[in-house]
Amino acid sequence: MQAKRAPRNDERVDEDGWPSRESADITGEIDAITSEIDAMTSEIDAITSEIDAMPGVMRLSGKSFCKDSAEKRRGPL
């Protein structure tokens, strides 16, 4: 027999104190969405790495800029 776990604040429980099926379904959906977000974040990180590796690109305050354009606006850094 499994030990009962305390339900999370937003979780409904059945008459025996177990998390309800509805809560389990919602938790599963949240986990699936979280996985999708993690995959998208990995894609963004890969693209950012590609941009950072391009010649003439530098990072300022978390944004990518073309070095030549920055020098034209501000002078050499």
Cβ neighbors of 24 (< 8 A, separation 6 or more) are: none
3-state helix, strand, coil in the chain (%, to 5): 55, 15, 35
Q: Which residue has the higher pLDDT, 2 or 43?
A: 43
pTM of the model: 0.48
29 or 75, greater pLDDT: 29
Give the position of tokens 């509805």. Answer: 22
The pLDDT value recorded for residue 1 is 47
Residues 57, 66 contacting (CB under 8 angstroms): yes
What percent of the chain lies above the pLDDT cut of 90? 19
Task: State which of 8-17, 24-33, 42-51, 57-66 shows the largest mean pLDDT.
Answer: 42-51
Per-residue pLDDT band at 38 (split at 50, 70, 90): very high
Q: Are the C-beta atoms of residues 49 and 60 closer than 8 Å to each other? A: no
